[in-house]
Amino acid sequence: MENVATASDEDKTTLIDAVMRAVCRECTSQTKIERHVLFKGKALESFGRVDLLRDGNLENAIVVECDEQNFDKGIARMVITAETALLERLEKDPQMDEHIYGIVSDLLTWQVMEVGAEGARFCKLKVDESEKEDGLRCVVGALAALLQGKEARDA
């Protein structure tokens, strides 16, 4: 893909999926990705289809794909979904101190939210279109580090 602006949504989805599979490989062997899962929570009927990264049987990250024009809607959807998943885990185990990660991407921009009982923090990773391959490698490294509990650096 030479130009992201003219690439089809299908091509972008394929690349985002490839990045997330690479992130799973960088993490533990237990981290798996489930594509296009219908996310349901007790508080919400259904909130659309998302990709889930699971460590064992627990959601570790919620991945929302969006296009450039709907990035804000993608972020809102990701925040609600990640916070719902966190609340349901806290309901089962109030002492839990793990984090849930929400990830929104249009391929060149990756907005990440880490949410836990103590609050949330955000990180934005940007990929320069002229250096997509290197930029996406940096995204894989940063996301894998974050999901393993290490600090992500802005890339």
pLDDT per residue, tens digit, the chain (155 aa), is: 567 767 787 888 888 888 888 888 887 666 676 766 665 555 554 455 667 777 666 667 778 877 777 888 888 888 888 888 888 888 888 888 888 888 888 889 999 999 988 899 999 999 998 898 899 999 999 988 888 876 544 44
CA separation for the pair 103, 11 (Å, rounded): 19
Q: Exposed (0-12), middle (13-18) or buried (19+): which is 10, by Cβ within 10 Å?
A: exposed
Q: Is 15 helix (H, G, I), strand (E, B) or coil?
A: helix
Domains of the chain, earliest start first: 9-147 (3.90.1570.30)
What is the per-residue DSSP string for 63-80? EEE--GGGHHHHHHHHHH
